[in-house]
Structure 1
Amino acid sequence: MKRFEGKVALVTGGRSGIGRAIAVRLREEGARVFTAQRGADPDFDHVVADFTDPEAPAKVVGEVMSRAQQLDVLVNNAGVMQEASIEAMSLADWQRSLAVNLTAPFLTIKGALPHLRATRGAIVNIGSIEGIGCNPNHAAYSASKAGLHGLTRAVAVDHGPDAIRCNAVAPGWIDTDLNLDFIETMPDPDAFRRGVGAIHPVKRTGKPEEVAALVAFLAAEESGFITGQVYTVDGGRMTRLSLP
């Protein structure tokens, strides 16, 4: 029997990148998967949602329950990244980052909790190594992902007695279409590709499917004694010290 046979999963931001790999992996293992994002998803059951709207998370959860009558796995993956120094960043841009990356997961979890309590379900939040460290000009992104890691621990503590587990995955450089397209904008894409690979002890960047594999494990019953944890998936990048 597949690990998610008879289960229903919701993956926000599941139409592309890491979210798409997660949705595919959960479906391959038997789940009925819903994705939720700004546009339609021709490959999955989906709900169109703008997560800057504070009413969207409850509507998404309500739609999943209306169509599937249960929810077993919630993956909060939708996110945005804006590059600006603190002095250059507007309050509106700051608030947009926090709205999508932190407030939307909070509200989605809040809406999902009664249904996850009924199924003894699992939550996996997609954080970032930038919730642990930070690249230049990523103040809002880093702050929002650090907050998501903290929210992960809080949910695990408060709702462990409900048999609801909550963990987070913190990816590093992953070869999503967005990142691959970014590399192609460099003056020397091959040199940039070699350079970004070299900062990892494993000497390469990661694949979306490698993140999805960990998410599936954390959502499955076999990880039933794991909660409140943040797992880096970064090829050892955060472990390696810079040269003295």
Structure 2
Amino acid sequence: MMRFEGKTALVTGGRSGIGRAIAERLQYEGARVFTAQRGADPRFEGIEADLGDPDSPDQIVSSVVDRAGHLDILVNNAGMMQEALVEDIGLEDWQRNLTVNLTAPFLLTKAALPHLRQTRGNIVNIGSIEGLGSNPRHAAYCASKAGLHGFTRAVAVDHGAEGIRCNAVAPGWIDTELNMEFIASMPDPDAFGQEIGRIHPVARTGSPDDVAALVAFLSSDDAAFITGQIYTVDGGRMAKLSLP
């Protein structure tokens, strides 16, 4: 199915993990895909950028439009996570988390809006179930992802009449390289991996492709009447109550 033939997509953090799966899915369905992140990306048309630099978003979007002529899909995927209690987070670290996870998507959206207005394009933000709940020691991450969910709704409300849709996907535990390395670091990786699977009603953890499938749907005309929504992709984890 070539739902994105003739369309141009920009995926931040598209070199690895969820971002790479999204970029691959959009390209598979016909899109010309640009990625933006630190370092080169040999798989796609990569743009090297530091998303902590407030000048980067304008430069990234300008590069895409200069090379492709238009922009149809923006996927704000790049993010970071830092584990620390509130009392132990320095202001600089707090600001860095918010800059990468929330301010960069804001600036990218701001830069992209004039071009998305011309193509009646759309935005998909990659939030997290931690924008809805919280794991321990994730105050900065949770705050930034909750903010991104709110930002998603605001963009949808403000720009829907211009033909621009904006939705967010909130993944749960996804088997990215980072998470697999975390499991491998446990004293008994097999037992830990089985326990992680058991907390999900579907009895498994997610794959990056699970997220990419939903992003592709939301980016397509099949979702033409959907905007301002936050979709959890978590195998039912948030729906399951702990035992009393």
Report the TM-score when normalising by structure 2: 0.99
Per-residue CA shift, 1:134-160, capped at 9, x if unaligned? 000000000000000000000000000
Residue in 2 that maps onto 1:156: 156
Deviation at 1:83, TM superposition (A): 0.3
- 2:30 aligns to what? 30
Partner of 2:89: 89
Q: Deviations over 1:165-219 (max 9, x none)?
A: 0000000000001100110000000010011001000111000001000000000
Give the residue type in structure 1 aligned to 2:24.
V
Give ranges in structure 1 of 5+ residues lacking alignment: none
Q: What does residue 140 of structure 1 align with?
A: 140
Q: Which amino acid aligns with 1:95?
A: Q
Residues 1:194 and 2:194 are matched in the alignment: yes
2:159 is paired with a residue whose SS is: helix
Query: How far apart, in 2, do the equivalents of 1:25 and 1:16 lie?
Result: 13
Letter in 1 for 2:65: M
Q: For 2:223 and 2:52, how far apart are their aligned partners in 1?
A: 32
> Where has structure 1 moved over 6 Å in runs of 4 or more?
none
> Which residue matches 2:215?
215
1:166 pairs with 2:201: no
What is the CA–CA distance in structure 2 between the aligned matches of 1:203 and 1:165, rounded to whole Å?
Answer: 33
Percent identity over paired residues: 72
Deviations 1:104-158 (A, max 9, x none): 0000000000000000001000000000000000000000000000000000000
Tell me the equivalent position of 2:237. Answer: 237
Alignment partners' CA distance in 1, 2:191 and 2:114: 50
SS at 1:166's partner residue? strand
Q: Which amino acid aligns with 1:239?
A: A
Q: Which residue in the other structure is 1:105 paired with?
A: 105
Q: Once the 2 structures are TM-superposed, how far is the Cα of residue 41 of structure 1 from its aligned partner?
A: 0.1
Aligned partners of 1:44 and 1:240: how far apart in 2? 38
Task: State the match for 1:176 in structure 2.
Answer: 176
Distance 1:54 1:79 in 2: 15
How big is each residue's C-alpha offset from its partner over 1:29-79, in whole Å with a ceiling of 9 and x where there is no partner? Answer: 000000000110011001101011011111100100111110000000000
Q: How many angstroms apart in 2 are the aligned matches of 1:54 and 1:240?
A: 39
2:70, 2:127 → 1: CA distance? 25
Whole-angstrom CA distance in 2 between matches of 1:221 and 1:202: 29
Deviation at 1:222, TM superposition (A): 1.1
Distance of 2:126 and 2:214 partners within structure 1: 11
> Structure 1 length as normaliser, TM-score?
0.99
RMSD: 0.6
Specify every segment of 5 or more residues in structure 2 that has no aligned partner in the other structure, as ranges: none
Provide the secondary structure at the position in 2 that maps to 1:36: strand
- The amino acid of 2:207's aligned partner reads K
